[in-house]
Amino acid sequence: GLKDAFKRGEDIHASTAAAIFNILLSEVHADHRRKAKEVNFGIIYGISQYGLASRLGITHEEAQEIIESYFIRFPRVNDYMIRTIAFARQHKYVTTIRNRRRYLPEIDSKNAAVRQNAERMAINTTIQGSAADLIKLAMINIQRKISDEKLRTRMILQVHDELVFEVKSSEVDHIQKLVKGEMENAISLDVPILVEIGTGKNWLEAH
């Protein structure tokens, strides 16, 4: 499953491509991976066969086959989505990994479009809200160490799951280790959190 792929350090999108297209990992090429990325992010946030077909430029029937293949290969993803929506319907809220709540009164709406949007919000919040919890904890811990060690490095920007720092050249090696350690260990999970670090004279070079 997906958890095992994470633990093996695999490219998740490549692993998904191999699974849904029924090919070997070594046979996955760039187009397979691109489509799998759309599938991974689309399905977990409740994309329909019509939405997926539009994104991938395929027929509705082909999109439905991909969705069905995905859930056959990764059944616990569907279980998670069903459980999350059921929890939201019972309690009228969902929580992040750090127990922040998002209330969803629209989960019982008689309007199908409104109700389905609330269902997507329930799933989205538990995932992206938890990711926000993680990076905020990492930011707090990183800044605390920068201050305690009286370093001249400055944290200047957060972009979703990315942090941007302005670093003195003499501190680069130390900051790389500090940031990687704090981001990968901000929250203990069943799967590893892997952080990539880039450096450069500007943001473009760092990427």
Local confidence band at 140 (pLDDT 50, 70, 90 cut-offs): very high
Reply yes or no on whether the pLDDT at 1 is more than 80: no
Residue 202 host element (H or E): none
pLDDT for the residue numbered 184: 96
Each domain of the chain, given as residue ranges in start order, spans 1-73, 134-206
Do strands 101-103 and 93-95 pair parallel, antiparallel, or not at all (unpaired)? Answer: antiparallel
Where residue 45 falls among pLDDT bands split at 50, 70, 90?
confident
* CA angle 48–53–56, rounded 5-degree value: 125
Q: What is the DSSP string of 69-89?
A: HHHHH-HHHHHHHHHHHHHHH
66-70 average pLDDT score: 89
Q: What is the architecture of the domain spanning 134-206?
A: 2-Layer Sandwich (3.30)
Quick one: pLDDT band at residue 74, thresholds 50, 70, 90? confident
Rounded CA-CA distance 168/96 in Å is 36
Write the DSSP assignment of 85-109 as a string of letters.
Answer: HHHHHHHSEEE-TT--EEE-GGGG-
**What pTM was computed for the model?**
0.85
Among 44-58, 83-97, 100-114, the least confident range: 44-58
pLDDT value, residue 51: 93
Q: CB count, 10 Å around CB of 144?
A: 11
